[in-house]
Amino acid sequence: MFKLQWKHLGLALALMLTLLIAACGSEEEGSSSSAEGNDEGSEEVNYGEELGYEITGIEPGAGVVAAAEETTETYENLEGWEVVTSSSGAMATALGEAIDNEEPIIVTGWSPHWKFQKYDLKYLEDPEGVFGEAETINTMVRQGLQDEKPEAYKILDQFQWESADIESVMLEVSNGTAVEEAAAAWIEENSDKVAEWTDGTEAVDGTEIELAYVEWDTELASTNVIGQVLEAQGFDVTITPLDNAVMWQAVAEGQADAMVAAWLPGTHASQFETYGEDVEDLGPNLEGAKIGLVVPAYMDIESIEDLTPAE
Ligand code: PBE
């Protein structure tokens, strides 16, 4: 009696499984054939299904992740979508793998970044403006730095470069060069620019300077470059990688002397609101920065609004 029941159950389960596999198989076929046949317009491509309704994020503390999470609430068509956080490195690996296989992927992206030099990518249009407009990357120093370490203050104040500069350092690093080496090479090749940063300052003898940063590709490059420039002027420089909010807090509370990683007005708006009054804003060290959702150019989609909600 028992045996018989089990047997029936086994049969029923096997049947269900077969049906399920068949259903999944036909669904997959359906979605891939619509992805290939793009003559019917981008609405036909259900990337959401292929992506499991997931956006590939970076570190949880990043402003671009917070903004991406906001898009899933602002855009009705992103109902059921999720931003999966990891690290900037993991995002870059996932992007590279997707591109190698010509698969779809949506990442939380930003410029300047080497990925735009290495791959053919595009920002998805953001008609609701969740990611904001062009941004600047500003230098923030602790209060009292000007009085206590005027030479460092002046160099940090004069530090300013272009997207092409930082991208060339980042590209080297992404190709496997140690960041210290890439920074040193850039400094050597750009002595005119560096001379403008140190203009009017005198060398010091071992004054300690603590720079805070986050291990984003941009910040790794900029912090190493300005750190080495300070070192060449006689400073004893320590660079400390922290979480985004902790980086802001460290400068606000004076544990760190400075950071060159404040993305404003949008990306770090909430950190600026919390800590802005306790730091000194030395203004942009780079203009024309941007954040948003980034996809490979081969994806048949132009706007965040083209994505379809999870079923
Ligand atoms: N980023 C790089 C940071 C700022 C610098 C865009 C990943 C962020 O989203 O907070």
Distance between CA atoms of 183 and 235, rounded to whole angstroms? 17
Alpha carbons 75 and 168: distance in angstroms, whole number: 35
Helix (H), strand (E) at residue 168: helix 163-174
Distance 294 CA to ligand 1 centre (A): 14
Tens-of-pLDDT digits for all 311 residues of the chain?
A: 333 344 444 444 444 544 444 444 444 333 443 444 444 444 467 899 999 999 999 999 999 999 999 999 999 999 999 999 999 999 999 999 999 999 999 999 999 999 999 999 999 999 999 999 999 999 999 999 999 999 999 999 999 999 999 999 999 999 999 999 999 999 999 999 999 999 999 999 999 999 999 999 999 999 999 999 999 999 999 999 999 999 999 999 999 999 999 999 999 999 999 999 999 999 999 999 999 999 999 999 999 999 999 98
Measured between alpha carbons, how far is 37 from 34 in angstroms, rounded to an integer? 5
pTM of the model: 0.85
Give me the domains of the chain, ranges plus CATH numbers. Answer: 47-133+293-306 (3.40.190.100), 135-288 (3.10.105.10)
DSSP 207: -
Q: Is 230 exposed, middle or buried (0-12, 13-18, 19+ CB in 10 A)?
A: buried
* C-alpha 28 to ligand 1 mean position (Å): 35
Asked if 223 and 261 touch (Cβ cutoff 8 Å), the reply is: yes
How far is ligand 1, taken at its centre, from the CA of residue 85, in Å? 13
Name which residue sits closest to atom 2 of ligand 1, judged by CA. Answer: 216
Evaluate: CB of 216 within 6 angstroms of ligand 1: yes
Going by the DSSP 8-state scheme, the letter that residue 267 receives in this structure is T
Atom of ligand 1 minimally distant from the CA of 219: 5
